Amino acid sequence: MKDDQDWIPDATDLAWIESIAGSVPEAAAAIEAAAAPLDVPIVDRHTGRVLAALATGRGRIVEIGTAYGNSTLWMALGQPADGIIVTVDPDTERTKLARGFWRQAGIPDERIVQVSAPALDAFGDADPRLAGPFDLAFIDAIKGEYGAYLDALIDAGRLADGALVVADNVLWSGRVSGARPSGGGDRSTEALRAFCSRVAADPRFQTTILPLGDGLLVAGWRGAQ
Ligand SMILES: C[S@@+](CC[C@H](N)C(=O)[O-])C[C@H]1O[C@@H](n2cnc3c(N)ncnc32)[C@H](O)[C@@H]1O
């Protein structure tokens, strides 16, 4: 335990971390520049670096929610050179642009498989591209559906033993913990709270939440017990 219980990292610490981190890949910077004016929600570069680290050694990844492909890009850069990512998003206006950014980063097309459909439809139709087992699942689409995405991953055996389930936005700007008020009937907040509690209480997972970006849940899958 650290000596000074009141200390939390401040801007100096964050600047120092940034100073020793590798430079942001040009394609990731290009995605950030394209997403910002249109408010397309993408993971920030700190979360991107964590995703790249978590993807190390993970050959098969499934992602729910592609957008411009920022999280996909960071994971692809962390994966083995022959790693595969299957990424799902029905918004083809966004995901067509994603392919261009991945090419800019030199990632061969065959490494990233795009499924242009709502995730629950694609899982429900047993789309063969979504057959497991996957070594990492990154969840970043409709907040109220996180629990159903997890069911689709577990029930159909899509998680390899030792796989990681990673989910973004689980703090939802402080609304999940109650640090900030959420409007009555805020279904995303309630769904995210239920999702986190469920995963944390499931003995098949080893779970934590990193207070990074908008909150990143990381859960290791021990396998069905
Ligand atoms: C937060 S963005 C994803 C950002 C991306 N992971 C990144 O960090 O670069 C959420 C995406 O989920 C997509 N989405 C919406 N409904 C979906 C569904 N039913 N299944 C899969 N993706 C969906 C949206 O089109 C949007 O692009």
What structural domains and CATH numbers belong to the chain?
A: 28-221 (3.40.50.150)
Q: Which residue has the tokens 């995730």?
A: 119
Is the beta carbon of 85 within 6 A of some atom in ligand 1?
no
What is residue 224's predicted lDDT score, i.e. its pLDDT? 80
Is the beta carbon of 118 within 6 A of some atom in ligand 1?
yes
133 prior amide bond cis, ω within 30: yes
At residue 1 the predicted structure's pLDDT band, cuts being 50, 70 and 90, is: low
pLDDT at 2 exceeding the cut of 80: no
Q: What is the DSSP string of 2-64?
A: -S-TT----HHHHHHHHHHSPPPPHHHHHHHHHHGGGT-----HHHHHHHHHHHTT--EEEEE
State if pTM tops 0.75.
yes
Mean pLDDT calculated for residue range 51-64: 98
Q: Which atom of ligand 1 is nearest to the CA of 119?
A: 20
